[in-house]
Amino acid sequence: MKYFTYDHNGEGFEYHNTKEEAKRHAEELLDFYLQNDDENNVDICWGEIKEDVHSNDAELKFKKVM
C-alpha cells in the first residue's frame, strides 16, 4: 500500500492501494464534515508514502516503499 489518508478528528491514518482511492476517500471525508455542519473542524490530508521506518530492538531502518 503506497498511499494514505489522514483524518485527525475521525478515522485517523488509513492505507490505500492507489492514488485515486486515497483521493476519493479524502473527498468522502470532507463531504461528511461539510454535510454535518462541521467545516470549522476539518483536518484531512492524503498523499503518497515515499519511505517507512521499522524498529527492531531500538534499531531504526528506513526502507523505500515500492
Identify the burial level of 13 via C-beta atoms within 10 angstroms of its C-beta, where 0-12 means exposed, 13-18 middle and 19 or more buried. exposed
Q: CA-based angle 6:30:66, to the nearest 5?
A: 35
| In the predicted structure, residue 1 carries a pLDDT above the cut 80 | no
**In which residue are the cell numbers 490505500 written?**
16
- AA identity, residue 26: A
Please report, for the chain, the start and end positions of each structural domain, with discontinuous segments joined by +: 3-64
6 pLDDT above the threshold of 70: yes
pTM of the predicted model, to two decimals? Answer: 0.73
Give residue 22's identity as a one-letter amino acid code: A
Where do we find the cell 517507512? 52
pLDDT in tens, 33-64: 888 877 677 889 999 999 887 666 666 666 77
**Helices vs. strands in the chain: H and E counts, helices first:** 1, 5
- Tell me which of 18 and 35 has the higher pLDDT: 18
